[in-house]
């Protein structure tokens, strides 16, 4: 599933390609979108801006209309010049937005809806999102407070909850916790303030490092190690059984959470510290 960095790169690419332009043609195989276009045609509207909110791409049109899309596992947006051959088959097309200069095509996007700008403010899908580390308005303190409120939930599951902190997916979940040296199975209630600060700091740095100018249609090669070697892009994700890049301990993998998502970690670098027992109080 595309994570926050991919969504932000996609939104930035769409903004550069079609932002500020007038729609010359709109097409969709999704009945709900086609009905809206039939009642209030998209053709002639201006694309005011494109932005990312967590894992959602929002395309704002003149006339107080917004298109919200979510990629889930296999969705993607492509940009083409007029007449350029698509890189995916026509049967995968879900939405086409054409301008005189560029065409934006959404392939296999499973979630797409039109919503008015007024209703968007009250739409739980968007309004309930947690702080986004890639947003210009992100405040680490707000994210820490939301994480702390999760009590006895394991920290790895908390990071995947888009209502707590948005944009983090399964790859960043494991990578961030390794970078912060926090065991993914520890309940939030057992983490120190310093550990929570480290998690949010690492999440912000890792995700922002992966939002770059330029975006290929097949997506970028996500990196968290800072290394140029393509085979050494990530610390732990997808590396079960391979040696830890820090200490050499074999990387572990375990299914976790209600959706049995794979979690990767180093048992040595991310060991669970012993909980110190409170001193016994002598009886009076």
Whether 132 is covered by a domain: the verdict is: no
**Domain match, 107 and 34 both:** yes
Q: 165-184: b or e for each residue (b if 16 or more CB lie within 10 Å)?
A: bbbbbbbbbbbbbbbbebbb
**Domain match, 31 and 82 both:** yes
**Domain match, 161 and 225 both:** yes
Whether 38 is covered by a domain: the verdict is: yes
Rounded Cα distance, 247 and 181, in Å? 12
- How many distinct structural domains can be found in the chain? 2
201-226 pLDDT tens trace: 999 999 999 986 443 333 457 899 98
**Domain match, 122 and 185 both:** no
Is pLDDT above 70 for 242? yes
**Domain match, 105 and 151 both:** no
**Domain match, 119 and 74 both:** yes
Whole-structure pTM value: 0.81
**Domain match, 109 and 151 both:** no
Which positions ≥6 away from 218 have C-beta within 8 Å?
Answer: none
**Domain match, 170 and 119 both:** no
Q: Which is nearest to 265 in space by CA: 162, 182, 197?
A: 182
Q: What is the CATH number of the domain that holds 248?
A: 1.10.8.50
What residues make up the domain containing 97? 4-127
Q: What is the CATH number of the domain that holds 29?
A: 3.20.190.10
User: Annotated catalytic, 2?
Assistant: yes
Whether 134 is covered by a domain: the verdict is: no
23-34 pLDDT tens trace: 999 999 999 999
The DSSP line for 137-167 is T--HHHHHHHHHTTTTSBHHHHHH-TTTSSS
User: Which is catalytic among the residues 51, 55, 131, 184?
Assistant: 55
**Domain match, 45 and 81 both:** yes
**Domain match, 222 and 164 both:** yes
- 111-116 and 93-99 strand pairing: unpaired
Whether 168 is covered by a domain: the verdict is: yes
Whether 23 is covered by a domain: the verdict is: yes
In this prediction, residue 281 carries a pLDDT of: 41
Q: Which of 99, 127, 155 is the last residue of a domain?
A: 127
User: Which is catalytic among the residues 3, 51, 98, 175?
Assistant: 3
163-183 pLDDT tens trace: 999 999 999 999 999 999 999
**Domain match, 103 and 147 both:** no
User: Annotated catalytic, 55?
Assistant: yes
Residue 258 or residue 235, greater confidence? 235
Rounded Cα distance, 19 and 226, in Å? 32
Is pLDDT above 90 for 19? yes
**Domain match, 167 and 211 both:** yes
């Amino acid at each position: 599933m595309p994570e926050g960095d991919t969504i932000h790169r996609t939104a930035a690419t769409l903004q550069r390609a079609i932002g500020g332009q007038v729609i010359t043609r709109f097409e969709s195989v999704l009945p709900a979108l086609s009905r809206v276009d039939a009642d209030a045609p998209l053709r002639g509207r201006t694309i005011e801006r494109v932005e990312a909110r967590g894992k959602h791409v929002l395309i704002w049109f003149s006339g107080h209309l917004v298109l919200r899309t979510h990629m889930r596992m296999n969705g993607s947006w492509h940009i083409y010049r007029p007449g350029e051959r698509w890189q995916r088959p026509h049967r995968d097309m879900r939405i086409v937005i054409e301008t005189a200069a560029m065409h934006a095509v959404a392939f296999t996007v499973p979630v797409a809806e039109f919503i008015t700008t007024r209703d968007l403010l009250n739409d739980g899908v968007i309004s309930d999102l947690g702080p986004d580390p890639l947003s210009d308005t992100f405040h680490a303190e707000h994210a820490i407070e939301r994480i702390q409120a999760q009590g006895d939930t394991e920290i790895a599951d908390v990071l995947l909850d888009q209502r707590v902190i948005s944009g983090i997916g399964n790859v960043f979940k494991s990578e961030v916790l390794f970078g912060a040296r926090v065991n993914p199975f520890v309940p939030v209630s057992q983490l120190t303030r310093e550990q929570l600060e480290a998690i949010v700091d690492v999440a912000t740095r890792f995700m922002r490092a992966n939002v770059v100018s330029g975006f290929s249609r097949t997506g970028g090669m996500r990196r968290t190690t800072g290394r140029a070697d393509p085979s050494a892009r990530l610390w732990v994700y997808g590396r079960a059984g391979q040696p830890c890049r820090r200490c050499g301990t074999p990387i572990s993998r375990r299914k976790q959470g209600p959706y049995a998502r794979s979690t990767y970690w180093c048992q040595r670098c991310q060991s669970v510290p012993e909980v110190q027992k409170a001193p016994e109080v002598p009886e009076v």
